[in-house]
């Protein structure tokens, strides 16, 4: 299974015994949307809903931080996502939040994971079937495991200011990166991590919400000055759209990449973290 699958591919595979489909829709609070309610109103047949805010470290003051491996495994079992499953993740969000869940699943040991290109919007625009209601799920075993090499902490990001061992790539809009637009979350400074480069996640997408591919995708990264032969850390506001950049790099075969889970919500709230304003 490719990392990015088409609606045509998924339509052919519906009903396969090892296939699991996950709705990973998430929205900024200001959008005033209820993704679980939207899921119950209409979702791809057989899909389950992945609650990004609940399948998280809910003891943290930061939003949707990674949970423990044990909690993640427990929630996956409850969703019927077991070891050996082929998992296709989609969303109905302009943030392409499916990339966050793709990344989480890989961090916690699932490798047969793909994103549905174009998400639910493309699926429905083609007249493909949807169903409503809450799914009936059979629990499956999910082995708790975590690859923390794909995750960066605040301490590691501070250290990187000195070592510059990893390039930092910020997925936020240019106005937030430069600090000309205030952050949507209260209490955060404006600006970006010193040395970071800016690649708004939408630059990786076509107008219909599908991902760019090949040289067009590569050019989106290279025009920021990123050296694709060197390691990259992705970041954003709270770790959602950073995963879009991580996924884009994966499509290019670049897997020397980690994601700063706390992102600007953590960095911009600390008293001792430097912040830079203005564009590069």
One DSSP character per residue, the chain reads --SEE-HHHHHHHTT-TTEEEEE-----GGG---HHHHHHHSB-TTEEE--TTTSS-TTSSSTT----HHHHHHHHHHTT--TT-EEEEE-SSTT-THHHHHHHHHHTT--SEEEETTHHHHHHHTT---B-SPPP-----------GGGEE-HHHHHHHHHH--SEEEE-S-HHHHHTSS--SSTTPPPSB-TT-EE--GGGGB-TTSPBP-HHHHHHHHHTTT--TTS-EEEE-SSSSTHHHHHHHHHHTT---EEEESSHHHHHTT-TT---B-S--
**Tell me, what's the pLDDT at 244?**
98
Is pTM, for the whole model, over 0.75?
Answer: yes
Give the pLDDT confidence score for residue 271 in this predicted structure: 93
Task: Tell me, yes or no, if the two domains 4-146 and 149-267 fold the same way.
Answer: yes
pLDDT at 88: 98
Q: What angle do CA 150, 116, 82 make, to 5 degrees?
A: 60
CATH class of 4-146: alpha beta
Per-10-residue mean pLDDT, the chain, length 280 = 97 96 95 96 98 98 97 97 96 98 97 97 98 94 93 98 98 97 91 98 97 97 96 98 98 96 97 90
Catalytic residues: 236
Domain parsing of the chain, residue ranges: 4-146, 149-267
Say yes or no: domain 149-267 is CATH 3.40.250.10. yes
d(CA 48, CA 21): 6
């Amino acid at each position: 299974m490719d990392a990015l699958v088409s609606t045509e591919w998924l339509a052919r595979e519906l009903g396969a015994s090892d296939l699991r489909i996950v709705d990973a829709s998430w929205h900024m609070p200001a959008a005033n949307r209820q993704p679980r309610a939207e899921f119950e109103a209409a979702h791809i047949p057989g899909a389950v809903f992945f609650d990004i805010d609940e399948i998280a470290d809910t003891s943290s003051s930061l939003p949707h931080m990674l949970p423990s491996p044990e909690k993640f495994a427990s929630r996956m079992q409850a969703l019927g996502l077991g070891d050996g499953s082929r998992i296709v993740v989609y969303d109905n969000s302009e943030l392409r939040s499916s990339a966050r869940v793709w990344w989480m699943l890989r961090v916690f040991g699932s490798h047969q994971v793909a994103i549905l290109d174009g998400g639910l919007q493309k699926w429905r625009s083609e007249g493909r079937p949807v169903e409503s209601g809450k799914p009936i799920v059979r629990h499956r075993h999910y082995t708790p495991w975590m690859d923390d090499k794909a995750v960066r902490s605040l301490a590691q990001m501070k250290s990187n200011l000195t070592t510059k061992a990893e390039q930092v790539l910020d997925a936020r809009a240019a106005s937030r990166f430069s600090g000309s637009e205030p952050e949507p979350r209260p209490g955060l400074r404006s600006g970006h991590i010193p040395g970071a480069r800016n690649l708004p996640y939408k630059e990786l997408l076509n107008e219909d919400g599908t991902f760019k591919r090949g040289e067009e995708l590569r050019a989106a990264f290279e025009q920021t000055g990123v050296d694709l032969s060197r390691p990259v850390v992705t970041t954003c506001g709270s770790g959602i759209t950073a995963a879009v950049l991580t996924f884009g790099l994966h499509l290019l075969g670049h897997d020397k990449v980690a994601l700063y889970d706390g992102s600007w919500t953590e960095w911009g709230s600390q008293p001792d973290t430097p912040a830079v304003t203005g564009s590069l």
